[in-house]
Chain A
Amino acid sequence: PPPKADTHLPSPIPPMLQLLRGGAAALACLVVRPPIVAKMALTQLSSTKCFGGYQKVYEHDSSELKCKMRFGIYLPPKSESAKCPVLYWLSGLTCTEQNFITKASSQQAAAEYGLIVVVPDTSPRGCNIPGEDESWDFGTGAGFYVNASEEPWKTNYRMYAYVTEELPRLVDANFSVISGKMSIFGHSMGGHGALVCALKNPGKYKSVSALAPICNPVMCPWGQKAFTGYLGPDKTKWETYDATSLVGSYSGPHLDILVDQGKDDQFLVAGQLLPDNFIKACTEKKIPVVLRLQEGYDHSYYFIASFIGDHIKHHAKYLNA
């Protein structure tokens, strides 16, 4: 049988050693295992003890993105003896799976509330697509959590499908999670991603929150650049990945959205974030939002670290209910 959902996957063992150990049983396993193992193959790259649990990083071959992808996963102490709910974090432009797990100081609250926190990368990497590394706000590190429809991006740039389908399936199969109890949050481009994933999938996420999200990408320079490249000129396609537009047509279970926005955020001033548009749409559509404008805070991970505890507590309220 394939390895049971477990927090400690062994590294691949040389066939010789297996034969010495097991005999007939090992031979049978060797014959049966490879196809299933290859599909779900996760390679642990690192594991570090943190607040009684483990901050790990894994790598796998993604079928949606057609490349190797990494993600961070924090396993709280509780996960050793019980299944836990999962909280997905989506990072912003230029980030990898490393920024959040090293800078946001989320592990303490995750440990306290018994939540598994999964942190994917922000785009496919090393796909050799012409132009993928030209800009910091488009291509590598800037997947915008959409399924691209335009060449040369449409084969690999399917971050929406990766985040909402492939990654949760992978996590459910390999870790000690409570099926169906997941929530999502993120920062900046990841805030946009979290809001879009929640609004497009009513009932899938128990709660959603965002820090300095790009609320209305069709109306800001970042969004216009990315959507033109990934989705082409058709603005109706753009609106299907725009939180402010999606609010207008949302119908689903009640949401409870927490948003933090630094008042000294240079990108707020530059008109990239547009939270007022989102608030206006939610007020009209009666979607519960509390937006906190935080005096003196900027767009950085210092801002994220300052309020991550409140966000994790917000999700714990719904995930642990």
Chain B
Amino acid sequence: MVEVQRLIDSICSIPVPSAPSMCPQSPDTATSTSVKVRWSLSADDTVEHYQLYYRKLGDNTQDEGAADAPLRVKEMFCTVRNLQTGSMYEFWVTATNSAGTSDGSDRAVFTTVPAAPRISNGTVAVCQSAVFMEWEAGSSRPPQSYALDFCQVCCGCDWTESLTESVTGITSCKALIELEPSENYIFYLRAVNGGGSSERSAAITVRTTGTQLYLMEQTAHLALSILQDGLTIVYNEESQLTDPPTIHDRFTSSATVMAQLVPVRGRHYWEVEVAEDTEYRVGIACTDTPRDAHFGSNITSWCMRHILTSSRSKFEFLHKGLTPDLRITITPTRIGILLDYDTGKLSFFNVDICQLLFTFSQQFQNLVNPCFALESYGILKVSHNIPFPEFTKLL
């Protein structure tokens, strides 16, 4: 009887499955927290269930996690969730039936897409012919590249997907894009890695009607604070914190901060609001102007300076430390600054009375940046996105 049982058993037995094969990651199947994993089998195997193993890969082997407990899966695919964004995971799978469990499959790497990048209007510069934007790299594993989607927006028409332009393969965290003057645009930023593209960032609206600039906080002298609006500069008590010596960008001897314009030539215009008793210097400087010098004292900077003497307001227009001798009867409270690379002129205006105060004539060989400095307690408020006023047109 035992022999018959043994014979029946041998006719009904099945082999242990062979190891499955992982399929490579398909495009557009990953999100920032999940991947869709598939595998295949040799033809004839009978399988009851699969066991899917995975572990996170890190930059160093110390970061690599041990495999979590396997997922028990009936199908030949699985969407694995709750993963970290922009990360690589190693997957392998085994097949099990009544006879036993197969060897593990080969290991395949799957990547979750990056998180949508963060970008704000606070680091976007605009002029009539282009936009320049900077953003921070992703915190964890940096993506391979970035892409910018943008489209011209006309009033009253619906924006359709098909009219979008994209700039892809951006490897640094900044982009300069040529645009048409006097138009509205919307920009979205995406991060891209081996797993695909992230979701779009928040929208950035851009209007090429005037100049938009932004203050570069990393250049600000420690005595200056920049308020939340990103445009108001306040002279404070000198900060007690010592600056780490590795930051080379910061102004050290005069309370100055530098701003970023779109790095293209052409015409740029911005305004500064001051009080009648504010002592300030406003103007431009070459990007690499020495940070330990006073703004206007060298060959790489040009500025308008206002100080109060015991008897009157004194105005200077400084370059290489020299100024013409001028008398200005009305102290401006709103100063317009026009930078014209084409004609080689830097002009200063009293905006409220449309009065030209002074013009530097200088062929600017290199690109320059707006600078703002305070000589004593006071506040400067920068205004931008102003269409070129009539009184700048003749120059």
A residues at B contact (CB < 8 Å): 254, 256, 263, 275, 279, 282-283, 286-295, 313-314, 316-317, 320-321
Distance in angstroms from A285 CB to nearest chain B CB is 9
Closest to B315 in A: A290
Query: Could you tell me if B357 and A290 are in contact, using CB atoms closer than 8 angstroms?
Result: yes
Contact with A along B356-395 (1 / 0, CB 8 A): 1110000000000000000000000000000000110010
The complex places the Cα of A288 from the Cα of B312 at a distance, in Å, of 15
CB distance from B390 to the nearest CB of A (A): 7
Q: Inside 8 A of B391's CB, which chain A residues have their CB?
A: 317
CA distance A293 to B391 in the complex (A): 24
Chain A residues positioned under 8 Å from B353 (CB to CB): 254, 256, 288
The 7 closest A-B pairs by CB, nearest first: A293-B325, A291-B327, A282-B329, A289-B329, A283-B329, A279-B327, A288-B330
* Chain A residue contacts of B350, Cβ below 8 A: 288
Asked if B326 and A293 sit within 8 Å, CB to CB, the answer is yes
Bound form: Cα–Cα A224–B7 in Å? 143
Please indicate the chain B residues that have their CB under 8 angstroms from the CB of A290 in the complex: 326-329, 355-358
Q: Mark B321-359, 1 if CB is under 8 A from A, else 0.
A: 000111111100000000000000000001001111110
Smallest Cβ-Cβ distance to B357: which chain A residue: A290
B320 to chain A, nearest CB (A): 15
Query: What is the CB-to-nearest-CB distance from B154 to chain A, in angstroms, rounded to a whole number?
Result: 32
Contact of A283 among B312, B326, B355, B356 (CB under 8 A): B312
Size of B's binding interface in residues, CB under 8 A = 18
A288 to B349, CA, bound (A): 12
A289 touches B325 (CB 8 A): no
Closest to B354 in A: A256
- Which residues of B sit under 8 angstroms from A287, Cβ to Cβ? 329-330
Report the nearest B residue to A257, measured CB to CB. B329
In the bound complex, do residue A286 and residue B325 qualify as a contact, i.e. CB atoms below 8 Å apart? no
Q: Please state if B394 and A316 are interface contacts (CB–CB under 8 Å).
A: yes
Bound-complex Cα distance A290 to B324 (A): 12
Assess whether B390 is in contact with A321, with CB atoms less than 8 Å apart.
Answer: yes
Contacts of B358 in A (CB 8 A): 290
Nearest-CB residue, chain B, relative to A282 = B329
Q: How far is the CB of B5 from chain A (nearest CB, A)?
A: 113
**Cα separation A295 to B325 with both chains bound (whole Å):** 8
10 contacts between A and B (CB under 8 A): A279-B327, A279-B329, A283-B312, A283-B329, A283-B330, A289-B328, A290-B326, A290-B355, A290-B357, A320-B394
Name the B residues within 8 Å of A283 (CB-CB): 312, 329-330
Residues in A whose Cβ lies below 8 Å from that of B394? 313, 316-317, 320
- Taking the closest CB of chain B, its distance from the CB of A246, in whole angstroms, is 15
For the complex formed, measure the closest distance between the CB of A305 and the CB atoms of chain B, giving whole angstroms. Answer: 18
Q: Which residues of B contact A (CB under 8 A)?
A: 312, 324-330, 350, 353-358, 390-391, 394
**How far, in angstroms, from A275 to B326 measured CA to CA in the complex?**
12
Most B Cβ at <10 Å: residue of A275, A283, A320? A283
Given A279-B329, A283-B312, A287-B329, the answer on whether A292 and B354 have CB atoms closer than 8 Å is: no
Residues of B within 8 A of A291 (CB): 326-328
CA of A316 to CA of B356, assembled, Å? 13
Q: Which residues of B contact A313 (CB under 8 A)?
A: 394
**Given A256-B353, A256-B355, A283-B312; A288-B390 close (CB under 8 Å):** no
- Most chain A CB inside 10 Å of its own CB: which residue of B329, B354, B355, B391: B329
Question: Can you name the residue of chain B whose Cβ is closest to the Cβ of A314?
Answer: B356
Provide the bound-state CA to CA distance between A263 and B329, in Å.
19
Give the CA-CA distance A216 to B212 in the complex, in Å: 46
Bound CA span A291–B326, Å: 6
B329 to A292, Cβ gap below 8 A?
no
Q: Which residue of A lies closest to B313 (CB)?
A: A283
Q: Which residues of B lie under 8 Å from residue A294 when comparing CB positions?
A: 324
Question: What distance in Å separates the Cβ of A31 from its nearest Cβ neighbour in chain B?
Answer: 50
The complex places the Cα of A128 from the Cα of B329 at a distance, in Å, of 45
Inter-chain contacts of A254 with B (CB < 8 A): 353
By a CB distance below 8 angstroms, the chain B residues around A321 are 390
Decide: B330 and A292 in contact? CB cutoff 8 A: no
A303 to chain B, nearest CB (A): 15
> Which A residues touch B357, using CB under 8 A?
290
User: Least Cβ distance of A196 to chain B in Å?
Assistant: 18
* A285 closest partner in B (C-beta): B329
Interface pair B327/A289, CB less than 8 Å apart: yes
Given A316-B394, A321-B390, CB of A292 within 8 Å of CB of B326: yes
- Chain B proximity of A213: nearest CB distance (Å): 14
Q: In chain B, what residue has the closest Cβ to A295?
A: B325
How near does chain A come to B301, taking the closest CB pair, in angstroms? 21
Q: Which among B327, B328, B354, B391 has the greatest number of chain A C-beta atoms within 10 A?
A: B327
* Most chain A beta-carbon neighbours within 10 Å: one of B312, B326, B356: B356
Looking at the assembled complex, report how far the CB atom of A210 sits from the nearest CB atom of chain B, in whole angstroms: 13
Closest to B395 in A: A313
A282: chain B residues at CB < 8 Å are 329
Complex alpha-carbon distance, A320 and B394, angstroms: 9
Whole-angstrom CA separation of A106 from B355 in the bound complex: 23
Give Cα A70–Cα B177 distance, bound, in whole angstroms: 61
Nearest residue (CB) in B for A286 is B330
A11–B355 Cα distance when bound, in Å, is 45
- Interchain CA distance A69-B329 in the complex, whole Å: 38
Least CB distance, A257 to chain B, in whole angstroms: 8
Give the complex CA separation of A292 and B312 in angstroms: 17
Given A293-B327, A294-B324, A313-B394, 15 new contacts (CB under 8 A): A256-B354, A256-B355, A279-B327, A282-B329, A286-B329, A288-B330, A288-B350, A288-B353, A289-B327, A290-B326, A290-B356, A290-B358, A291-B326, A292-B324, A317-B394
Closest A residue, CB atoms, query B359 = A310
B263 CB to nearest chain A CB (Å): 30
Docked-complex contact A288 and B327, CB < 8 angstroms: no
Residues of chain A contacted by B329 (CB below 8 angstroms): 279, 282-283, 286-290
The smallest C-beta distance from A298 to any residue of chain B, in angstroms, reads 16
The complex places the Cα of A292 from the Cα of B355 at a distance, in Å, of 14
Shortest beta-carbon distance, B315 to chain A, in Å? 9
CB nearest to A293 among chain B residues: B325
> How far in angstroms is the closest Cβ of chain A from B277?
15
Tell me how far the C-beta of B82 lies from the nearest C-beta in chain A, rounded to whole angstroms.
67
Residue of A nearest to B391 (CB): A317
Q: Which chain A residues border B327 with CB–CB below 8 Å?
A: 275, 279, 289-291, 293
For residue B394, which residue of chain A has the nearest CB?
A317
Bound Cα distance A317, B353 (Å): 13
